[in-house]
């Protein structure tokens, strides 16, 4: 276990360094001068003078060689300082902290919707393989995968807000504001997970021990939900873990359609504004979340399937 932890921590560190170098250089090699872009935005679209641009570059150390800029940034980050947004002139940590709850709320709600739809559907589909429920769920899954989130979002708004008058169109507030975004985000993901649950269940249902359980005279429900599902969930947990990472930053379209100020929205605006500190801070955070989710997923395996060991390199 200790070995595993040490190995994983080293990997985490390596991944984070790699991600930060990559983001840093990508931003600097992307055309578009942050000084000009930011000053133009601040001045209501008016072109800034060259003197103002030079001042800005000087003030934010943009005239230094890129490796020096990177080293300075890493130094600051190691001291817990993600710097200030160029555009908003607010500490990046504060911006992220303000947006994180909205994004977490949406991601968790989206995931719950996805699981609530996909696990029963996947199981039913597998149990009735080749039957009508299977076809229906497979077609639904195909539709779910094919429909882009923004389209689904508008569709839900038109049906549930405009025609049925059940939910507000956009904004943040009580649970009523969360339902449609969570449905939009969750249904796309539900489609992916349904298919996975189905195939995984089918595999498990063919296993010897299921036959043994049935021959022992156990009730079908116990066989499926206690014996089969638990094992079928291993690959699902991996995907759920990965998808949760995607949910955190991939919810951007949903955040835009439903006007939820979250991290996706923050990132996309920062990229357009060439707000380097915000982009770098957010990418770092997203990388941390991804790596940590994977880590947690790996830990979970052991509890789902005790045969999986952390030792011996098969984890």
Partner 1 sequence: MPTDPKTRRNWLQILGAGGAASLAGCAGGGNDQNNDDPYQDTNETTDSATDESTESGDDTTGATKAKPATVALSTDPTAGVWQVYGGVTPYYTNILEPLIWVTNDMKLKPWLAKDWTATDETTWEFTLRDDVTFHNGEPLTADAVVFSVEEVLKEWSWAPGWLHIKPEGVKKLDDKTVEFTTTSPFPAFPGTIAHNMVAIQHPSRNREEGEVIGTGPFQVVDRKDKQYVKTEAYDDYWNGEVNLPELTFNVISDPNTRALSLKNNDVDIAYEPPKNKLDSLKKSEETDAITQLSPSTGTARLNMYKSPTDDVKLRKGLNYAVPQKLIVEEVLNGVGVPAKGPIAKSIYWSAHEKLPAYGPNMDKAKSLVEESNYDGETLKLFVSNQLTDGKLLAQVLQQRFDKAGVTVEIQVMEQSAFDDAVRNGNAHIEVTESGTNSGAADYLIYETFHSEGDMNERLHEKNDTGLYNPGKEVDSLIEKGFQTGDKNEKEEVYEQALQKVMDQAAVIPLYYSEYIVAKYNDVNDLDLRPIPEMVRWPGIEHS
Which residues lie near partner 1 (CB under 8 A)?
A: 30-34, 36-37, 39-52, 55-56, 59, 87-89, 98, 154, 157-158, 161-162, 165, 168-172, 256-259, 261, 265, 272, 274
Please report how the helices 276-304 and 2-29 are oriented relative to each other, as an axis angle in degrees rounded to 10: 150
- The torsion region of residue 65 among left (phi > 0), alpha (psi -120 to 50) and beta comes to beta
Residue 162 Cβ vs partner 1, minimum distance, rounded to whole Å: 6
Nearer to partner 1, 118 or 149 (CB): 149
Residue 144 token pair: 């779910």
Nearer to partner 1, 87 or 244 (CB): 87
Residue 184 Cβ vs partner 1, minimum distance, rounded to whole Å: 12
Nearer to partner 1, 47 or 212 (CB): 47
Classified as helix, coil or strand, 7 is: helix
Closest by CA to 18, choosing from 295, 287, 297, is 287
Q: What angle do CA 27, 29, 31 make, to 5 degrees?
A: 90
Residue 8 Cβ vs partner 1, minimum distance, rounded to whole Å: 36
Residue 294 Cβ vs partner 1, minimum distance, rounded to whole Å: 31
* Residues 192 and 145: beta-carbon distance below 8 Å: yes
Residue 98 Cβ vs partner 1, minimum distance, rounded to whole Å: 7
Nearer to partner 1, 96 or 228 (CB): 96
Residue 47 Cβ vs partner 1, minimum distance, rounded to whole Å: 4
**179 to each of 14, 56, 117, 186, 263, how far by Cα in Å?**
39, 43, 14, 10, 19
Residues 221-257: b if buried by 16+ CB within 10 A, e if exposed: eebbeebbbebbbbebbbbbbebbbebbbbbbbbbbb
Nearer to partner 1, 54 or 300 (CB): 54
Nearer to partner 1, 61 or 120 (CB): 61
Nearer to partner 1, 12 or 172 (CB): 172
Q: How many residues does the chain have?
A: 315
Residue 92 Cβ vs partner 1, minimum distance, rounded to whole Å: 15
């Amino acid at each position: 276990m200790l070995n595993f932890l040490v190995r994983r921590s080293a990997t985490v560190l390596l991944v984070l360094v790699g991600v930060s170098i990559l983001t840093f250089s990508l931003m600097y090699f992307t055309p578009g001068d942050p000084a000009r872009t930011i000053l133009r935005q601040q001045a209501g679209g008016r072109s800034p003078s060259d003197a103002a641009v030079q001042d800005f570059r000087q003030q934010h150390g943009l005239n230094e060689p890129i490796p020096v800029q990177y080293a300075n940034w890493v130094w600051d980050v190691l001291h817990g300082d993600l710097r200030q947004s160029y555009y908003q002139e607010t500490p990046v940590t504060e911006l992220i902290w303000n947006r994180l709850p909205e994004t977490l709320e949406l991601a968790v709600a989206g995931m719950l919707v996805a699981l609530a739809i996909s696990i029963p559907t996947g199981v039913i589909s597998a149990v009735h393989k080749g039957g009508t429920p299977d076809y229906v769920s497979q077609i639904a899954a195909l539709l779910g995968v094919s429909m882009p989130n923004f389209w689904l979002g508008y569709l839900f708004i038109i049906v549930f807000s405009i025609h049925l008058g059940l939910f507000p169109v956009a904004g943040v507030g009580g649970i009523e504001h969360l339902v449609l975004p969570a449905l939009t985000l969750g249904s796309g993901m539900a489609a992916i997970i349904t298919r996975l649950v189905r195939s995984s269940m089918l595999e498990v249902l063919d296993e010897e021990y299921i036959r043994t359980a049935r021959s022992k005279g156990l009730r079908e429900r116990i066989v499926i939900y206690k014996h089969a599902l638990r094992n079928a969930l291993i690959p699902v947990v991996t995907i759920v873990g990965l998808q949760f990472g995607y949910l955190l930053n991939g919810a951007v379209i949903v955040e835009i359609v439903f006007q939820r100020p979250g991290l996706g929205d923050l990132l996309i605006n920062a990229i357009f504004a060439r707000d380097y500190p915000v982009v770098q801070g957010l990418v770092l955070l997203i990388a941390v979340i991804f790596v940590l989710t994977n880590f947690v997923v790996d830990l979970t395996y052991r509890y789902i399937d005790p045969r999986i060991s952390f030792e011996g390199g098969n984890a």
